[in-house]
Amino acid sequence: MTSLVSNASSLISEPDLRAACETLRGVATRTPLLPCELPGANGGRVLLKPEMLQRGGAFKFRGAYTFLARLSEAERARGVIAPSSGNHAQAVALAAQMFGVKATVVMPTTVTAAKRGGAERLGATIELAGTNTKHRMDRAMELMEAHGYVLVPPYDHPWIIAGQGTTGVEIVEDFPTVDLVLVPVGGGGLSSGVATAIKLLSPSTRVVGVEPSGAPKLTKAREAGEPVTLGSTSSIADGLMAVRIGSLPFAHHQVYMDDVVTVDDGAIREAVRFLIDRTKLVAEPSGAITFAALQTGAVALTKNTVCVLSGGNIEWDGLLELLGHG
């Protein structure tokens, strides 16, 4: 397996991010920065990074493709397996299809129809296991050992972090004067990658992670000074319900993340509706959470703010429920 960094426990560097950018050039969608009029902005400028326009409908393709591209042909020939709440599964299925690789994905029994259907359409074999990240990882490890598959981690790996971090590279290249970036926090691959990229390329820019109030794994980890396992999580933001922040992402957070805030489900619903109404972007709850942080005042708007909207994989029934709620 080709190494992206010299030591798997070390933090990724700017060359690692640039290498991932080259790997994804012409393959991943370079999503634009779109202006958004936020009521009460008082001169502050808000731009949206719409990763629902990414291949597979979410940012996850960046990391999945980067990971598979780094494998040797012999490793890819063994097939890959990925535990996922949904978006990582679709991303791995798509990348595997592009490389002509067999993919198996382990999803929760509560997976949404949109996310399961997306992985199936892309040719992945579906396994269902439990309701949390540990259940999925345990089953993935069993299948890996039984069949010799290569595990594609959802977030706790330097190749994944570098791939997701290309989102941050694009933000700085396209908007050099950005002074605040808001990014969703799930297991930590996207948030750690974006924070690292932003701070390496624009050190004065603040980076704030946003997670559901029902799944505050980074908040609790920062309080404890190390990753902790939550007893349970609950949120409409199904992509952000990891019970524990990844160890390698957390190491990056400690160096590069300025702050983390939480937002409740009611605010997330309002953000989903606002984004559809005002910007015509369909964001799943996990993707809309950053905009919710601005709407609620959990994070104060600055002169030049970017919200990363991490994905838009939501089924019709779920979307209609959100739109009609209240």
Judge whether 49 counts as a catalytic residue: no
Q: Which residue has the tokens 């997701």?
A: 164
> Token digits for 304?
């030049």
Contact status, residue 61 vs residue 54, Cβ threshold 8 Å:
yes
Q: How far apart are CA 8 and CA 16, in angstroms?
A: 12
Q: Which of 84, 85, 192, 310 is catalytic?
A: 310
DSSP one-letter string for 77-121: HT-EEEE-SSHHHHHHHHHHHHHT--EEEEE-TT--HHHHHHHHH
CB atoms within 10 A of CB 1: 11
Q: Which residues pair with 105 in a beta bridge?
A: 82, 126
Judge whether 60 counts as a catalytic residue: yes
Q: Which residue has the tokens 């979410």?
A: 58
Q: How far apart are CA 53 and CA 310, in angstroms?
A: 9
Q: Which of 49, 60, 199, 217 is catalytic?
A: 60
- Alpha carbons within 13 angstroms on the beta-carbon side of residue 50 total 17
Q: How far apart are CA 77 and CA 237, in angstroms?
A: 34
Name residues whose C-beta falls within 8 Å of residue 122's C-beta, 6 or more positions apart in sequence: 56, 90, 93, 94, 96, 97, 103
Contact status, residue 283 vs residue 311, Cβ threshold 8 Å:
yes
Contact status, residue 249 vs residue 159, Cβ threshold 8 Å:
no
DSSP one-letter string for 273-300: HHIIIII-----HHHHHHHHHHHHTSS-
Q: How far apart are CA 50 and CA 231, in angstroms?
A: 32
**Active-site residues: which are they?**
60, 310
